Structure 1
Amino acid sequence: MQEELRHQIALTQIPQIGDIVAKKLLAHFHSASAVFKASKHELEHIPDIGTVRAAAILEFDDYEQVDKEIEYIAQYDIQPIFYTSAQYPKRLKHCADSPVMLYYKGNADLNAGRIVSIVGTRAPGDYGKTICAKLVEDLAAHNVMVVSGMAYGIDIIAHRQALLHGIPTIGVLAHGLDRIYPPQHKGTAMAMVENGGLLTEFLSETQPDKQHFPMRNRIVAGIADATIVVESGLKGGSLITADIANSYNKDVFAVPGRIGDPHAAGCNELIRTNQAMLITSATDLVQVMGWDHHHPSKVQADPQLGLFLTLDEAERHILTLFTGNDEKHIDQLRRESYLPGSQVASLVLKLEMQHVLRGLPGQKYQVIN
């Protein structure tokens, strides 16, 4: 297990290997350790790998940093969550560019039944502050977990209001877990670890550099069922998050504001261009999401747990692509698994025979609960 973790972290540190390519390697070899044990010939003949990337894998030797990180996460009780792990957030797993590795410190369930991301300007007006606080307060009655990015303004208001009302809240960081940025939010972050958590894709000692914030935003957008933009100008991280959420086919909501108010310009534009639904209260969100008719259940990471543990790694990989009772077309499973079509068909058939998956009309499949 330690060797596999070592190779999992190492895989994320190869400059030529991004998240999408790493998933292709995992689809072919099924584990990070197998990637590093592969021959030059095997690596070069995988689509999109070629000689340059194969050489980068074979020549990687920065295990001093990797071992230092393993010591750090053990010392501070940080949970490394790899893409193939059953603990990996299912909603995020469906996003093509999701991180291969996450680092998590907290006690909230990353596969909770209902998750909402709330984002907005770092310099909100009184209107935005009031609306954000009221939205979070009213969501408390609907068992919703709140996610944001720990930034000044709307982000930290959402986190603090969630804590005030006993709502689990996750802060997604644009740096390592050895620091909090901005440092003024350290007290809130410590409270979040007790009722929620802190999540990042970055190793310890990673600085909050400018390019890391858009990367952080894709996690904020991908881990939730819906994203709410409370106040935003025509440019900024909130609109980036909304755009990413739309690209993931997530629901996006925006709070309208006065015409001519620079704080409202971004939200009004999202609504005007049909990139977001207008929201005036938590009731609007709850009705659109269908959360007013039934109680949430955890997004299942391991349906039929006993049988799940007896499946091989490839079978478990297919099974973890399913969220709750959703239906998946065979082509969708091929895309999301990054496995060859023939292998997916074989795995699906085996899971059907083991009464784990149910075949539906139109080449669709569903987990048998």
Structure 2
Amino acid sequence: MRYHIAGAGKGNPGFTAGRNHGAQLRNRQGGKGISEKAGISHKKNSRSQLAALIRLTISPCPSRGELRRLLALKSPEELASTLPETDQLSFSLNAALNHGITSLAITSADYPHRLRSIPDPPAVLFIKGSPEVLKGSSVAVIGSRRCSLYGRKAARKLAGGLSAAGVCVVSGLARGIDAESHRGAILHCGRTAAVLGGGLDSIYPAEHSALAETIARCGCLLSEYPPGVRPTRYSFPERNRIISGLSDAVVVVEAGERSGTMITVGTALDQGRDVYAVPGEIGRSTSAGTNRLIRDGAGIILSAEEFLQDLGLQAEQPEAVSDDPLIKLLRNRELTPDMIISITGSDRSALSSRLLELELAGQVVRRPGGAFTSVV
């Protein structure tokens, strides 16, 4: 089912990480996009090109829209040759090299094709991992940071089902639904991509650093911001257009009516993407946004299998339920390490290591107060 509304207003696509940049997230001008065949195709990712693209993005001029136009005419090295060397450039380049961060200009043949077609695509993407994961079907699975246990389980189950069918799960690495979506994909050894609101050398939130490294190994991290740029309150809404732009469809698992998630819904609709929502409990604030989306015509998600049918994909047969004794113990209950020790007599050090292992694998989650519960 398609859910479409009229596009939003106009704005200025200039590149900054401050207030003006955040206010521009509804710019929908110039929807023609740029093909790698339209101008110069920048296929190499040499150190000189990386340095040039960093220099172009940290410079206050040209604007993002102007940079897209210039990259279709000249190589990054040619464009950057007139800009001065700065300490920020040295810092960003060293951070990129130390963290294994590469770059893609919009004219590159490897630039994600769906993203190139949106009205205001990033002129440059910085990537850690493999952008190849975005060449097949991709679905954004997003939602509230402050989510319920139901929302966590729904996000993980849905992302796992999509991932098992070969769909790349796209989200924003935020606390709550985003993180559970990534973990659900990882748990099924599938593909996932995280779009960040700052440079890839500084993961936010910091507690997701280990998760980010795992995502980079089985998918990729992306940002339009070069290394060294810290996220701001304005850069997070701005990156939402990239999350929807990379995806064939957007699924909202849980969200309040005024949640930042609704910004992504707006950009998805403006980009012509299908929007789906997971129904939630009536009266729960974190489900108010999703329930309203369904009322207003969004597609309803009842299972990954049905959703995959809508996408024209085949669902994988469900795997057997885990027989891990610790996962069984934590299924449908929340227990602290002390409680687990009192029940099982486990060694505290061994238990801590095992819980960390299961948490990183996305099989248990830590609840407020330090308790753990299984989500598989």
Pick the TM interval, shorter chain.
0.5 to 0.7
Counterpart of 1:291, as a letter, is L
245-254 or 65-74, which deviates more: 65-74
Aligned to 1:151: 174
1:174 deviation in Å?
1.0
Over 3 Å counting, the alpha-carbon distance change for 1:4 and 1:122 in structure 2 is: closer
Report matched runs for 1:64-143 at 5 Å.
64-107=87-130, 109-143=132-166
Distance 2:307 2:271 in 1: 18
Q: So what's the TM-score if we normalise by structure 2?
A: 0.67
Counting matched residue pairs gives 270
Report matched runs for 1:1-369 at 5 Å.
2-27=47-72, 29-35=73-79, 60-107=83-130, 109-274=132-297, 276-292=298-314
Distance 1:135 1:69 in 2: 37
Over 3 Å counting, the alpha-carbon distance change for 1:108 and 1:62 in structure 2 is: closer
Over 3 Å counting, the alpha-carbon distance change for 1:34 and 1:168 in structure 2 is: same
Over 3 Å counting, the alpha-carbon distance change for 1:203 and 1:108 in structure 2 is: closer
Distance 2:77 2:292 in 1: 47
After superposition, give the CA deviation of every residue in 1:293-322 in whole Å (9 maximum; x if it has no partner).
9xxxxxxxxxxxxxxxxxxxxxxxxxxxxx
1:16 deviation in Å?
4.2
Note if contact 2:67-2:123 (Cα within 8 Å) is conserved in structure 1: yes
Distance 2:119 2:191 in 1: 27
Note if contact 2:50-2:102 (Cα within 8 Å) is conserved in structure 1: no
Note if contact 2:138-2:168 (Cα within 8 Å) is conserved in structure 1: yes
Unaligned runs of 5+ in 2: 1-45, 316-376
1:2 deviation in Å?
5.0
Helix, strand or coil: the match of 1:116? strand
Counterpart of 1:239, as a letter, is M
Note if contact 1:233-1:266 (Cα within 8 Å) is conserved in structure 2: yes
Aligned to 1:316: none
Distance 1:126 1:2 in 2: 45
1:121 deviation in Å?
0.6
Distance 1:261 1:191 in 2: 32
Distance 2:269 2:70 in 1: 27
Question: Which structure's relative contact order is higher, taking Cα pairs within 8 Å and 6+ residues apart?
Answer: 2
Over 3 Å counting, the alpha-carbon distance change for 1:13 and 1:186 in structure 2 is: closer
1:148 deviation in Å?
0.9
Q: So what's the TM-score if we normalise by structure 1?
A: 0.68
Greater helix share, 1 or 2? 1
9-18 or 249-258, which deviates more: 9-18
Helix, strand or coil: the match of 1:263? helix
Note if contact 2:156-2:184 (Cα within 8 Å) is conserved in structure 1: yes
1:281 deviation in Å?
1.2
Helix, strand or coil: the match of 1:253? strand
Aligned to 2:319: none
Distance 2:184 2:47 in 1: 39
